[in-house]
Structure 1
């Protein structure tokens, strides 16, 4: 052994001016796209500034939207967290692709037709049309909460990667990158977000491909990577046991993973807003499958990076030696190790990781702008908003919430090991939201009262479940089962510290370990992949029970456009009731069959800004 750990760590910080140039070029291109769509693109007067800003005039092209969906969904957490997941726990997470494919079929046939036919801007408008105003506010508040919790983490994770390769403090880089993102999102709207996402998605793919090609070549080829990971048990067949506490089984990955991805893609404002920017349902379906194919490719690349990290450091674990201070810095370590001697290549990787973060941030800010305008400002405005007021509100929301996210990075940095708890809090709302939307499109008997009680019950249960699980992890009641590691081949001095608390960023959500130390089964011992499924199931069951106690809806009296296509067919077959005369709704446009409750607040919500027909 020749060097100590600090000398090795400093020697790996090889971020030179070519790398800075590439990183700044990425930011400059994104800003230029925002300037173009904000100040130079000719806008159609018939569309209106609101529709152009929030949904791109509903006339976007399929490929850019699909690339935007990929870039928005695959954040820096995924790019850095997935390889860490594979390195520590093995390849079992990759089998979630089965659940993702199922998600595509369900979304295409159940959820997407409803949202696209209604021509909504905010998905939570649906909750008022289907149930009542309370449900719309409930859904909007949960969405805002989840974004405020999630977006600062999205910013913080790539900042750690930048710190690993350059040594620059995270609080120097996060304001610069976020100001650029806030700028192009604010001035360019949805079109700027989508086209910057195209650039950023190409950067992501290019950076990750560069790592796996160069890393595989340096280590001696694909067979070396496969052999070392098979010997360590990281490449393994899926677990087929029925144990709910097992961290990853084929059932939790396919069923639980399917429900998790369904919520994240089928009813998320961040994603649906892009599908609604396309001109018709067929275009949205094509974009959906391009998105799933792209996610499959990118997820495969990320998983292979995890195998490559182990094959490279199989005899000297960087976590044990503290060569990296955080688990999610494993991939940046590999990058500087194999690409550090080539000017500009490390900069390309960092630009790719930050591209993933910026795409998620811009998507979140644009979606917050839509939700705040449509679900909070318009319904509560006593007079219709003018075009100028609408413009200021949309852009003001982006600036204000962007600044809040930057400020919260200081909080995230100080959470330490409690950061997983904050990620749990973000996942609390997933099950209740998916449950209430599923009740709306698939269970016509559910009433507004039933949906509110069901979603509130599910929210309370998920809050208790996530907090209990995190407390069990903190106290050691639950422990993680990890794959073997070794430090026998290290060539530098280090002092292992088993008590060191390292930040853990997981690929999708906080993980619940598979082996409880307690012999008594507790519901919070279940795998994290079942969280969304449990929340959804509780919401649906309680909603149905409460609805039948107080009197369910008559399915024949509901507007069929609010229901999934197969549910419409079932109702038509089982009832001869005239569905064109709903008992509690007014028909506002016969050709579109869109119904709005009679309350004055709802009428204001739909008549603010533009007339109803232009919105439809």
Structure 2
């Protein structure tokens, strides 16, 4: 009996047993208890905006690094990456290259500006650099982005749990949200960060165990590579310059560079955690650790996709209707290999839920910060810290409830990876473009930023939503890698079986055919180009009147002499204040003696 037969002879409807429910339940209980601890028992209560949103700026490298990894590796990645490798091949795996480069871009270009300003909301920068109107635009675009993203984050673990237990997908989603809303509401950033740490450990444990057991079960790494190569899934260097090809070396490397840069460099969730660090050096270290963590989990997830194909290489579970869609491949695979391993399905589902909970809690916490600091606080003349904390907790509950209702739309989209990146591209490009316009181009004014941002948002939104509609109606499909059912020993309905890849049926609008990986790059360049044109048409800023602290250090050497002198004077003034403070401390100490 070959490896594939040993897999396909198992009962595909194997469900959770009691030990799986215990493991899964413990992960949720521990997450909730962390929120209770920071709300009621921690030495510093989360009853001020600084504590609730920034953790009092006393967070350590380890929890913040783990939180960042958990935040950016959602269930979408854990389920979507293996499905991507199985269905379309390994070209997308090359995203790890661009994501490493992005971490150095953040450390050298964007983070220095935010850390120097020490702001609670990254969108406060837009007011300092441009105007209140631009700040409002940036905040609204960010909120739209998170409202598009969080429902997908919720849907993913519900999909996996449904596959593993047989429970209705839409019955489990409120449970995910209630737990997440509970600890995020009570414990603020510290609860989010420490639950993220726990969830990162569970996530890595689940992925590693499934990857190792799957490799052993199929016969070793050599078998995985051989079967993947024979099916033409191993492709890393498709150098075709055609922008309509779904994945090429250029779209994955260059296009994803802009996507990942937008997701990290100017994202409220990222900046909020980095600014929670006591020093900029520690913030830089967390960014580097984030890159290493992303590299590890993405690589393992992609390899797991090849392991799944090697296991089902002659009996595709999608074609045999054992599962409804490719995004269910990983949970189906886990249930298949865990017959003699009690608790493994529970651990795996806990890992997927952990990834989702961390991403959702991060989203809720960062959206709360933006809503309160950018939209509510400016409209309140005076407000006590206790009332501010209460308002933020109400915001968390309201946003979480709205996101549950939006989950029903997610099922109508394409594969998780493409749908997630496509929707993120609507807002990512415009936000990155507006911030980059402010940091790199001192001539840009507020009118240019407003028009550039709105133009970018409208253009990419039209392309992305139009493409998703065309995919949902079947007018756009993509060529898939070959699959087989020759080795199946289970009965299936031949009338619904299709092994021939389906190509584009009709000729859709040209821009709808553009690869989704170019959306953010298109949005960023549109915002910058339109922003500069409008700025020069309406009267550009005098660079001498722009505070150098609002510009990235990368361009400081090119600034007019007067601006550089102003920056030096500010630094000397700050050093003088520090010297005076140290002198005062010394005098007080001597007086006490």
TM normalised by structure 1 equals 0.87
1:467 aligns to 2:465 (yes or no): yes
Gap change, CA 1:579 and 1:43, over 3 Å in 2: same
Cα 1:65–1:592 shift into 2, 3 Å: farther
* Cα distance, 1:576 vs structure 2: 6.6
Distance 1:149 1:561 in 2: 33
Work out whether 1:555 is the aligned partner of 2:543: yes
Aligned match of 1:508? none
Structure 2: state its 5+ residue gaps: 1-7, 577-593
Q: Distance in 1 between matches of 2:502 and 2:484?
A: 22
Q: Which residue of 1 aligns with 2:132?
A: 133
Query: Could you say which residue in structure 2 is the equivalent of 1:82?
Result: 81
Matched ranges for 1:286-297 at <5 A: 286-297=285-296
- Cα deviation for residue 523 of structure 1 reads 3.0
Separation in structure 2 between the aligned mates of residue 491 and residue 499 of structure 1, nearest angstrom: 15
- Bigger mean CA offset, 84-93 vs 8-17: 8-17
- Give the Å deviation of 1:209: 0.5
The answer to whether residue 30 in structure 2 is matched with residue 42 in structure 1 is no
Q: Aligned to 1:21, what secondary structure does the other structure show? A: helix
Instruction: Please give the alpha-carbon distance, in whole angstroms, between the structure 2 residues aligned to 1:483 and 1:255.
Output: 24
Counterpart check, 1:310 vs 2:298:
no
Q: Report the RMSD for the aligned CA atoms in angstroms.
A: 2.7
For 1:543, the equivalent position in structure 2 comes to 531
More displaced stretch, 431-440 vs 513-522: 513-522
Deviations 1:77-108 (A, max 9, x none): 11000000000011110111111112112111
Cα distance in 2 between the residues matched to 1:362 and 1:561 = 31
For residues 327-356 of structure 1, give each alpha carbon's deviation from its aligned partner in whole angstroms, at most 9, with x where no partner exists. 211000110000133211110000000000
Instruction: Select the structure that is richer in helix.
Output: 2
Show the counterpart of 1:443.
441
Alignment of 1:22-37 (within 5 A): 22-37=23-38
Q: Which residue of 1 aligns with 2:230?
A: 231
Report the CA distance between 1:48 and its aligned residue.
Answer: 7.0
Report which stretch shifted further, 139-148 or 529-538: 139-148
The partner residue of 1:493 within 486, 491, 494 is 491
Mapped pair 1:203 → 2:202: yes
Aligned partners of 1:496, 1:530: CA distance in 2, in Å? 38
SS in 2 for 1:428: helix
Q: Which residue matches 2:13?
A: 12
Q: Which of 381, 384, 387 does residue 382 from structure 2 map onto?
A: 384
- Report the secondary structure of 2:559's partner residue: helix
How far 1:116 moved relative to its partner?
1.0
Counterpart position of 1:242 = 241
CA–CA distance in structure 2, aligned partners of residues 371 and 576 of structure 1: 31
Using the alignment, how far apart are the partners of 2:10 and 2:176 within structure 1? 25
1:138-537, aligned counterparts within 5 Å? 138-381=137-380, 383-413=381-411, 415=412, 424-474=422-472, 476-496=474-494, 498=496, 522-537=510-525
Distance of aligned partners of 1:358 and 1:412 in 2 relative to their CA distance in 1, 3 Å threshold: same
Quote the Cα distance in structure 2 between the aligned partners of 1:205 and 1:592: 44
Name the SS for the 1:556 alignment partner: helix
Distance 1:577 1:179 in 2: 52
- Superposed CA deviations along residues 143-196 of structure 1, whole A, max 9, x for unmatched, are 111212211111111111111111112233222232111111111110110011
What are the superposed Cα offsets for residues 255-300 of structure 1, whole Å, 9 maximum, x if unpaired? 1110000000111112211111111111111000100000000000
Query: Quick one: distance in 2 between partners of 1:576 and 1:277?
Result: 29
| 153 and 497 in structure 1: CA distance in 2 versus 1, 3 angstrom threshold | farther
Cα separation, partners in 2 of 1:270 and 1:592, compared to 1, 3 Å: farther
CA distance in 2, matches of 1:60, 1:581: 31
Please report how far the alpha carbon of residue 514 of structure 1 lies from its aligned counterpart in structure 2 after TM superposition: 12
Residues 201 and 580 (structure 1), Cα distance of their counterparts in 2 relative to 1, 3 Å cut: closer
2:547–2:563 Cα contact (<8 Å) kept: no
Residues 341 and 303 (structure 1), Cα distance of their counterparts in 2 relative to 1, 3 Å cut: same
Q: Deviations over 1:374-429 (max 9, x none)?
A: 00111112x2111122011111111111122223334545x466997787444311
Q: CA deviation at 1:518?
A: 6.8
Residue 478 of structure 1 aligns to a residue whose secondary structure is: coil
Q: Which secondary structure does the structure 2 equivalent of 1:168 belong to?
A: coil
Deviations 1:507-530 (A, max 9, x none): xxxxxx997667898233221111
Say which is worse superposed, 204-213 or 334-343, in terms of deviation. Answer: 334-343
Instruction: Classify the secondary structure of the residue corresponding to 1:123.
Output: coil
Secondary structure of the 1:452 match is helix
The answer on whether the counterparts of 1:66 and 1:291 sit within 8 Å (CA) in structure 2 is: yes
The question of whether the paired residues in 2 share the 8 Å contact of 1:245 and 1:514 is answered with: no
Is the Cα–Cα contact under 8 Å of residues 115 and 275 in structure 2 kept in the other structure?
A: yes
CA contact (8 A) 2:425 2:523 kept: no
Counterpart residue number, 1:105:
104
Using the TM superposition, give the Cα deviation of residue 230 of structure 1 relative to its aligned residue in structure 2, in angstroms.
0.7
> Could you say which residue in structure 2 is the equivalent of 1:120?
119
CA distance in 2, matches of 1:496, 1:416: 26
Structure 1 residues 463, 172: CA separation in 2 closer, same or farther (over 3 Å shift)? closer
Q: Compared with structure 1, are the counterparts of its residues 417 and 480 closer, same or farther at alpha carbon in structure 2 (3 Å cutoff)?
A: closer
Q: Which runs of 5+ in 1 are unaligned?
A: 1-6, 501-512, 594-616
Q: Check conservation: 1:70, 1:295, Cα contact below 8 A.
A: yes
Question: 2: CA distance between counterparts of 1:516 and 1:102?
Answer: 34
> SS in structure 1 opposite 2:95?
helix
TM-score, normalised to structure 2, is 0.90
SS at match of 1:143: helix
The structural deviation recorded for 1:558 is: 0.8
Structure 1's 273 and 498: CA in aligned 2 closer, same or farther, altered over 3 A? farther
How far 1:360 sits from its partner (Å)? Answer: 0.5
Q: In the TM superposition, what is the alpha-carbon distance from 1:326 to its structure 2 partner?
A: 2.2
TM-aligned CA distance change 1:592 to 1:276, over 3 Å: farther
Pair 85,220 (structure 1): closer, same or farther in 2 beyond 3 Å: same
Determine the C-alpha separation between the residues in 2 that align with 1:418 and 1:214.
26
Deviations 1:98-130 (A, max 9, x none): 111121121111101111111111111111111
